[in-house]
Homo-oligomer: A and B are copies of this chain.
Amino acid sequence: MRSASLLLALAIALPTHAQQATTTIPQSALDQVPALRVRALADRTGWNVVESLTTEVGPRLAGSEADARAVEWAKAKFKALGYDKVWTEPVTFPKWVRRSEHADVLGVHAQPLVITALGNSPGGTVEGEVVRFPDLAALDAAPEGSLAGKIAFVDYQMQRYRDGHDYGVGGGGGIRGKGPSAAIRKGAIGFLMRSAGTDTSRAPHTGMTSFEDGLKPIPSAALSTIDAAQLARLVALDPHTRVRLALDCGIEGDYTSQNVIGEITGHGPRKDEVVVMGGHLDSWDPGTGAIDDAAGVGLSMAAGALLKPLHPQRTIRVIAFANEERGLFGGKAYAAAHANEIARHQIVSESDFGAGHIYSFNTNAPDSAKPAVDQIAVALKPLGIDVIDGEGGPESDVGPISRLGATWASLSHDGTNYFDYHHNAEDTLDKIDPKDLAQNVAAYAVFAWLAAQADGGFGSAPKAAGDAGD
């Protein structure tokens, strides 16, 4: 029994492709790269797609009227770009709506504060003294019950990094996710945070929060960074500063949107295998979702279209995911719908970090694919892209399927300015540099082309249930 279970364990640990000879990319494919790079850098398709989505559809909060228009837009755009197959797959989620949001300082320093409700926040009007905390740890350390009848205010200023890592645990995104529940546990009636953003502006950053099971949700919102600084000064002047927070928003039943998928069909015996690129179609509502994530949709649609005349061996699959913003619903639905086709995923990628210059290429492909990975790296190098250990990961919506065993690739955008505009009203077309976007398109086109032409795979194989949570 023991040796049998050892064999089983080995079979799980060694995915199918790892048992093949090493994966390489044929010279005939590499020979096409210089011309592909040139063509991609001169191509305006990526820009045109981003302009079209952000202008014609505009803001497209998941579940809104614009969500449905975005789905129709994506289907039409795939067809117009010459994709061979276009279809949709349903994605169902609780619909959250935002109607109005106001906050006011009360009393002798009365004045409005610019805020935005956090996604999933309930509506409601609360009024209470503001208690300021410099960060989430300070809120967590507050005595039990100490915020009874009060509004918690976490005033953490997110720091600027190329890889945006201060959006993570303890940073801006971490506070947004965990802060409201932490505040509820201390008795707070409302939650305010300095926006998870690196800008100095009056544009507050929205984004999803979630409430832990068993806690009664409270109105939760983000102040613009400037309004947070103002409130901090007011609280310093008067520790009894009171604020009224009035949100009209909340969850209203379920909504079914669609992942929209377009394919450039492969040629030959490997055409059932797919190279996945994509972005997410939904956006937060204050901006028009240009960097988040019309850019990802546009650059992957454009990269796929550039490959059509090259007749790739494997199929190029571009996915415009539904409702990434409120919890990866599109990515989870895609993984669930394609859980039995993991090995058919040659490699999966998504662009969901803006349209800054791509500076790093990474993948979790096994050693057997290293020769091909190195060849891709050489082909990306003239675009200013290096392999930097530890950068990147399976981005947003390809996370769920990568956890099922699909090998991911990551092309990391420079995110130095990303959190100036992320999830706020300033996420608009003008924030995208057409030259950077063209470089992004070129990077994805080269990567996808070479992955599609590789002799051998990149290690995608179903994981055992116990591994799927990696």
Contact = CB atoms under 8 A, between A and B. Distances in A.
Given A55-B109, A109-B56, A110-B66, A426 B230 contact: no
Contacts of A114: 425
B233 A426 contact: no
A111 B428 CA distance: 13
Contacts of A233: 51, 55
A202 B66 contact: no
B430 A226 contact: yes
Contact of A202 (B105, B109, B203, B237): B203
Interface string A285-319: 00110000000000000000000000000000000
Interface string A431-463: 000000000000000000000000000000000
A31 interface: no
Contacts of A112: 58-59
Interface residues of A, number: 33
A32 interface: no
A419 to B, nearest CB: 16
Interface in A186-243: 200-203, 226, 229-230, 233-234, 237
Contact of A234 (B55, B109, B229, B234): B55
A69 B108 contact: yes
Interface in A3-60: 51, 55-59
A203 B234 CA distance: 24
A58 B428 contact: no
Nearest to A200: B430
B202 A111 contact: no
A470 interface: no
Nearest to A230: B55
Interface string A74-115: 000000000000000000000000000000010011111010
A114 to B, nearest CB: 7
Copy total for this chain? 2
A201 B424 CA distance: 11
A389 interface: no
A252 interface: no
Contact of A428 (B51, B56, B202, B287): B202
A203 B226 CA distance: 14
B430 A66 contact: no
Contacts of A230: 55, 58, 288, 428-429
Contact of A59 (B51, B111, B200, B428): B111
Nearest to A54: B230
A59 B105 CA distance: 12
Nearest to A56: B109
Interface string A328-351: 000000000000000000000000
Contacts of A110: 58, 65-66, 69
A110 B61 CA distance: 13
Q: Counting chain B CB atoms within 10 Å of each CB, which of A110, A111, A200 scores highest?
A: A111
B426 A237 contact: no
Q: Counting chain B CB atoms within 10 Å of each CB, which of A55, A114, A201, A230 scores highest?
A: A55
Contacts of A200: 430
Given A55-B237, A234-B55, A426 B111 contact: no
A329 to B, nearest CB: 23
Given A56-B237, A109-B56, A110-B66, A202 B426 contact: yes
A80 to B, nearest CB: 15
Given A202-B425, A203-B202, A288-B230, A58 B111 contact: yes
6 contacts: A111-B288, A202-B287, A202-B425, A202-B428, A203-B203, A226-B428
Interface of A: 51, 55-59, 65-66, 69, 105, 108-112, 114, 200-203, 226, 229-230, 233-234, 237, 287-288, 425-426, 428-430
Given A58-B110, A201-B426, 10 more contacts: A51-B233, A59-B112, A65-B110, A200-B430, A201-B201, A201-B203, A202-B203, A202-B287, A226-B426, A230-B428
4 smallest beta-carbon distances between A and B, as pairs = A58-B111, A202-B425, A55-B233, A226-B428
